[in-house]
């Protein structure tokens, strides 16, 4: 009987204190043929063996040596007897307990494991890289029957070689695309099974005259529950328990005697795939299950009765996003360091509810760089080609009516914007129409609205170009610290998707009037700030609405009457306008050369005329179903940057840092665009930052982190570590970290794996900061380029 070595499993090592455990027979209760076997223990530390120490270096080395000598002598005697014509009794039972190995959970349990500070994640050298979670498959084969001949040492065979007992595990996607998630270090050489999906187990080299039995246990066979069974060299199973499962494969002869037994640990995870790679049938299942969240309510409905306690409807999930993005004091989820982790949790909360409806499904990601890549445009490039994406067709997420932007076809046709009423389960501040739209958004449309590239007749593609392979390549390979990565991820690689889908509507007349004052070129530039200016005026306490408007009151009437606007400011005369004027991003830079009367009229127009954000561009963007395929794309990019070693500094501060530069300029490395502290963007903040404290419907977030099934107690730093792709902490993986469609455009993401990416310049390399005392603006590259160009022009004019 051979000693049971502890094995490194998915980044963990079995408890060394269990190395003296007894080797016991397989329990007959599980139907095994094993009988009693002598209990043997060993003074042997397997964890030291993994470090390369010899047995003689360990405390029990002498005993180990003695047992080895005895074993060799016994084998010699047996071989001599066999050569002389004696045959051993036929093996009728296995003597190795396939369930005797201990089991160490591989997932980080948030309620048990110590979460290290985020800076400890930094990989500083090759030695540390080797220590990152890296599993070995657990595959134990029982002794072979006496008529099987083992291969001799050094590859020399004595008689016929018997193939090693092994198996493959595949499903439709794996047969089509190959094994997924190969870049996760803890999944190397480990079979990945997708839950609630048919998986075929196939014996690699089945032998004639033998049959095969399969059993799968949740966890180890010794402690885990028997999940499923199958027979034959090929068996179809459906596994439903996430994480480690033990597959026990037995080879039996015609008499039903077990002659060989294999135990192998497999990993059960959901696999997120690009939405266009799903089969047509599965994509239909996905859309049907998603739409359930819009059609089956919890509050006033029977959602939990139908789908269980994990079910939450879209109205609860959207309410959470709205409560985070709409407050006057600041945005808790956007424009700051909390963007990444907050949106991962919101996405995982949606996915948990989706799986309550159909447990086979996981959210796909939408790689929106395909839309602008040479490989993806299919010769249909040009202005607004992005909005012709497959996602926005009737049978997917629906199309927007070209006359008013409302979605009127497909599953999500006429999706009503939720209206707040007395005794709603979550206290929020709605818009002037009492709907869950941003309070600065005076939009009376009753249904889900998309601008699809429209922004006051301005050339949105020049200012906010759709993310490309280049912008994602730069983000994935150009930054080494979490702080910079998140700040830049917010804008050019991600923000334009919301800008294009949402758009800004009903503002053509507004900027037409401004054009008569300052000229069409400046007016167009101002139009491209429209979604920034109105929101900032609200956050500065300047723009607000009084009371509620009825559905018969058009936005123009609500604004012209003063019900909504820059309350308390006289914009017809005097200098009241100045306190607004100097608070607006880049306004003085754009129209500073005009006289006071023109400036006053421009400010009045921006305060009192219509400019309405489409729903993807405001606080309740999470009501649009396309929202939930958008943000997994950003998580995937982050995981790639971590796995390739691009990110080495995971520091997440709790406070802004003020820096004085050599020229005396004072700048601030900030947690968010808010100049005041904003809960949600500090490393020690805990999602959802108290936003659900007033809710009365029992809605809880789902982080997706093992051990944190309901709610969240982890800080942002701890969530960042739990979402580190090098650890095995969440219920899903991404199918691949390949961007093959980008290669035709000159961007090979494989550069990051071999270090070549370090030699390429990125679009921006400075650490983000803001001038102290100046209005803070989103860091879109075009805004910075325009400022620089205007500054250079003014400097040239002064010289001339």
Query: Distance from CA of residue 634 to its chain's centroid?
Result: 7
Both 253 and 279 in one domain: the answer is: no
- Give pLDDT, residue 772: 85
Give the number of domains in the chain.
2
When comparing pLDDT for 587 and 109, which is higher?
A: 587
In a domain, 108, yes or no: no
Tell me which DSSP letter residue 387 carries: G
> Do residues 318 and 618 make contact, with C-beta atoms less than 8 angstroms apart?
no
Model confidence at 733, pLDDT cuts 50, 70, 90, reads very high
* pLDDT greater than 60 at residue 141: no
* pLDDT greater than 80 at residue 360: yes
Both 333 and 247 in one domain: the answer is: no
- Give pLDDT, residue 775: 78
Both 321 and 249 in one domain: the answer is: no
- Give pLDDT, residue 700: 94
Give the CATH number of the domain where residue 152 resides: 2.60.40.10
Spatial distance between the Cα atoms of 555 and 618, rounded to a whole number of angstroms = 17
Q: Provide the H-helix boundaries in 431-554.
A: 460-463, 469-477, 482-489, 495-502, 508-518, 520-527, 530-539
Q: Quick one: average pLDDT of 476-499?
A: 95
pLDDT tens digits, residue range 63-85?
333 434 434 444 444 444 344 44
Both 298 and 242 in one domain: the answer is: no
Domain end position, chosen among 243, 268, 293: 268
Both 260 and 292 in one domain: the answer is: no
Quote the domain boundaries for residue 420.
275-506+611-792
- Give pLDDT, residue 629: 97
* Other Cβ atoms closer than 10 A to 791: 11
When comparing pLDDT for 676 and 217, which is higher?
A: 217
- Give pLDDT, residue 776: 82
Chain mean pLDDT for the chain: 80
Both 293 and 342 in one domain: the answer is: yes
Both 290 and 245 in one domain: the answer is: no
Model confidence at 756, pLDDT cuts 50, 70, 90, reads low
Q: What angle do CA 119, 186, 485 make, to 5 degrees?
A: 35
Q: Quick one: average pLDDT of 344-359?
A: 98
Instruction: Rank 297-311, 351-365, 665-679 by mean pLDDT and report only the highest.
Output: 351-365
Q: Provide the H-helix boundaries in 179-335.
A: 280-295, 303-307, 314-325
In a domain, 523, yes or no: no
Spatial distance between the Cα atoms of 265 and 442, rounded to a whole number of angstroms = 57
Q: Quick one: average pLDDT of 483-497?
A: 95
In a domain, 558, yes or no: no
Both 249 and 280 in one domain: the answer is: no
Buried b (16+ CB within 10 A) or exposed e, 218-243: bbbbbebeebbebeebebebebebbb
Query: Distance from CA of residue 790 to its chain's centroid?
Result: 39
Both 347 and 379 in one domain: the answer is: yes
Of 383-397, 572-586, 723-737, where does mean pLDDT reach its minimum? 383-397
Q: Quick one: average pLDDT of 192-207?
A: 97
Model confidence at 793, pLDDT cuts 50, 70, 90, reads confident
Q: Tokens 């030695």 sit at which residue?
A: 127
Spatial distance between the Cα atoms of 77 and 80, rounded to a whole number of angstroms = 5
Q: Quick one: average pLDDT of 649-672?
A: 91
- Give pLDDT, residue 374: 85
* pLDDT greater than 60 at residue 623: yes
Q: Tokens 């400890």 sit at which residue?
A: 120
Both 706 and 748 in one domain: the answer is: yes
Take residue 738 and report the two structure tokens written for it.
Answer: 């390949």
Spatial distance between the Cα atoms of 40 and 600, rounded to a whole number of angstroms = 91
Q: Tokens 């407050």 sit at which residue?
A: 327
> Do residues 413 and 398 make contact, with C-beta atoms less than 8 angstroms apart?
yes
> Do residues 475 and 485 make contact, with C-beta atoms less than 8 angstroms apart?
yes
Both 193 and 321 in one domain: the answer is: no
* pLDDT greater than 80 at residue 146: no
Both 368 and 424 in one domain: the answer is: yes
> Do residues 200 and 232 make contact, with C-beta atoms less than 8 angstroms apart?
no
* pLDDT greater than 50 at residue 253: yes
258-268 and 192-193 beta bridge pairing: parallel
When comparing pLDDT for 592 and 79, which is higher?
A: 592
Maximum alpha-carbon separation in the chain: 117
The residues, ordered by sequence, that sit 6+ positions from 37 with a Cβ below 8 Å of its Cβ are 1, 23, 24, 25, 95, 97
Domain end position, chosen among 215, 235, 268: 268
* pLDDT greater than 80 at residue 459: yes
- Give pLDDT, residue 796: 75
* pLDDT greater than 60 at residue 91: no
* pLDDT greater than 60 at residue 582: yes
Spatial distance between the Cα atoms of 387 and 453, rounded to a whole number of angstroms = 7
- Give pLDDT, residue 77: 40
pLDDT tens digits, residue range 769-789?
888 888 788 888 888 888 888
- Give pLDDT, residue 124: 38
- Helix or strand run (H / E) with residue 782: helix 781-799
- Give pLDDT, residue 423: 66
3-state secondary structure 638-663: HHHHHHCCCCCECCCCCCCEEEECCC
- Give pLDDT, residue 696: 82
Of 620, 405, 408, 400, give the one whose Cα is nearest residue 507: 405
- Give pLDDT, residue 378: 58
Model confidence at 669, pLDDT cuts 50, 70, 90, reads very high
* pLDDT greater than 80 at residue 583: yes
Query: Distance from CA of residue 452 to its chain's centroid?
Result: 25
Domain end position, chosen among 224, 242, 268: 268
Residue 234 β-bridge partners: 202
Take residue 665 and report the two structure tokens written for it.
Answer: 């300029």
Q: What share of the chain in percent tops pLDDT 70? A: 76
- Give pLDDT, residue 207: 96
Spatial distance between the Cα atoms of 714 and 638, rounded to a whole number of angstroms = 19
Of 9-18, 373-382, 473-482, 664-673, where does mean pLDDT reach its minimum? 9-18
Query: Sign of the CA dihedral 218, 223, 225, 230?
Result: positive
Q: What angle do CA 214, 220, 221 make, to 5 degrees?
A: 50
pLDDT tens digits, residue range 413-444?
999 999 887 667 777 889 999 999 999 999 99
Give the CATH number of the domain where residue 730 resides: 1.10.1280.10
**DSSP assignments along 1-33, one per residue:** -------EETTEE--GGGTTPPP-PPPGGGT--
When comparing pLDDT for 291 and 79, which is higher?
A: 291
In a domain, 1, yes or no: no
């Amino acid at each position: 009987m051979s000693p049971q070595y502890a094995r490194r499993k998915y980044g963990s090592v079995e408890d060394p204190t269990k190395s003296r455990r007894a080797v016991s027979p397989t329990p007959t209760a599980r139907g095994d043929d094993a009988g009693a076997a002598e209990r043997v223990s060993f003074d042997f530390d397997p964890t030291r063996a993994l470090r390369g120490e010899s047995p003689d270096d360990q405390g029990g080395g002498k005993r180990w040596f003695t047992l080895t000598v005895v074993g060799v002598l016994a084998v010699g005697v047996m071989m001599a007897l066999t050569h002389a014509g004696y045959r051993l009794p036929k093996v009728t039972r296995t003597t190795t307990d396939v369930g005797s190995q201990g089991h160490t959970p591989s997932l980080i349990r948030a309620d048990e494991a110590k979460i290290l500070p985020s800076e400890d994640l930094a990989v500083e050298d090759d030695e540390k890289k080797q220590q990152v979670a890296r599993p070995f498959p657990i595959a134990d084969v029982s002794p072979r029957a006496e008529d099987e001949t083992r291969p001799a040492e050094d590859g020399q065979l004595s008689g016929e070689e018997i193939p090693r007992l092994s198996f493959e595990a595949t499903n439709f996607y794996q047969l089509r695309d190959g094994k997924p998630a190969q870049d996760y270090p803890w999944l190397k050489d480990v079979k990945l099974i997708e839950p609630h999906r048919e998986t075929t187990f196939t014996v690699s080299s089945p032998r004639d005259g033998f049959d095969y039995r399969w059993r799968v246990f949740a966890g180890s066979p010794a402690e885990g529950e028997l999940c499923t069974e199958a027979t034959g060299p090929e068996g179809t199973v459906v596994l439903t328990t996430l994480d480690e499962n033990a597959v026990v494969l037995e080879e039996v002869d015609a008499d039903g005697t077990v002659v060989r037994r294999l135990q192998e640990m497999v990993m059960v995870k959901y696999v997120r795939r690009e939405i266009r790679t799903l089969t047509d049938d599965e994509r239909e299942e996905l859309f049907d299950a998603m739409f359930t969240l819009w059609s089956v309510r919890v509050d006033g409905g029977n959602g939990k009765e139908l789908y269980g306690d994990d079910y939450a409807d879209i109205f609860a999930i959207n309410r959470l996003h709205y409560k985070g993005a709409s407050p006057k004091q600041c945005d808790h989820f956007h424009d700051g360091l909390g963007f990444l982790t907050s949106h991962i949790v919101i996405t995982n909360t949606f996915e948990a509810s989706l799986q309550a409806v159909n447990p086979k499904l996981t959210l796909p990601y939408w790689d929106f760089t395909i839309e602008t890549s040479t490989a993806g445009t299919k010769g249909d490039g040009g202005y607004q080609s992005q909005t012709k994406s497959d996602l926005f067709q009737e049978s997917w997420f629906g199309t927007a009516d070209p006359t008013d932007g409302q979605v009127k076809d497909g599953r999500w046709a006429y999706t009503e914007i939720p209206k707040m009423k007395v005794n709603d389960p979550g206290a929020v501040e709605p818009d002037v129409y009492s709907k869950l739209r941003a309070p600065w958004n005076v939009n009376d449309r009753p249904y889900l609205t998309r601008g699809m590239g429209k922004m006051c007749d301005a050339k949105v593609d020049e200012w906010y170009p759709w993310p490309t392979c280049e912008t994602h390549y730069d983000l994935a390979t150009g930054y080494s610290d979490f702080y910079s990565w998140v700040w830049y991820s917010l804008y050019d690689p991600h923000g334009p998707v919301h800008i294009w889908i949402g758009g800004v509507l009903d503002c053509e007349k507004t900027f037409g009037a401004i054009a008569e004052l300052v000229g069409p070129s400046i007016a167009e530039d101002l139009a491209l700030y429209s979604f920034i200016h109105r929101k900032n005026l609200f956050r500065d306490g300047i723009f607000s609405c009084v009371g509620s408007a009825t559905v018969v009151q058009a936005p123009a009437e609500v604004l012209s009457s003063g019900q909504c606007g820059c309350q308390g400011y006289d914009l017809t005369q005097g200098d009241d306008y100045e306190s607004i004027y100097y608070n607006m991003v880049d306004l003085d830079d754009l129209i500073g050369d005009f006289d006071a009367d023109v400036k006053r009229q421009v400010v009045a127009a921006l305060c009192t005329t219509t400019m309405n954000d489409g729903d993807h561009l405001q606080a309740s963007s999470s009501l649009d179903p396309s929202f939930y395929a958008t943000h997994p794309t950003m998580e995937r990019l982050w995981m790639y940057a971590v796995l390739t070693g691009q990110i080495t500094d995971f520091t997440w501060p709790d406070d802004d840092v003020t820096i004085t530069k050599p020229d005396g300029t004072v700048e601030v490395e900030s947690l968010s665009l808010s100049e005041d502290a904003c809960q949600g963007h500090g490393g020690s903040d805990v999602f959802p930052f108290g936003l659900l404290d007033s809710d009365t419907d029992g809605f809880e977030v789902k982080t997706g982190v093992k051990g944190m099934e309901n709610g969240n107690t982890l800080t942002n730093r701890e969530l960042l570590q739990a979402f580190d792709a090098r650890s095995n902490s969440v219920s899903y993986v991404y199918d691949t970290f390949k961007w093959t469609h980008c290669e035709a455009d000159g961007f090979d993401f494989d550069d990051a794996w071999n270090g070549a990416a370090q030699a390429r310049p990125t679009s921006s390399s400075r650490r983000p900061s803001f001038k102290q005392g100046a209005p803070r603006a989103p860091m879109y590259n075009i805004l910075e380029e325009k400022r620089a160009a205007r500054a250079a022009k003014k400097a040239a004019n002064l010289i001339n």
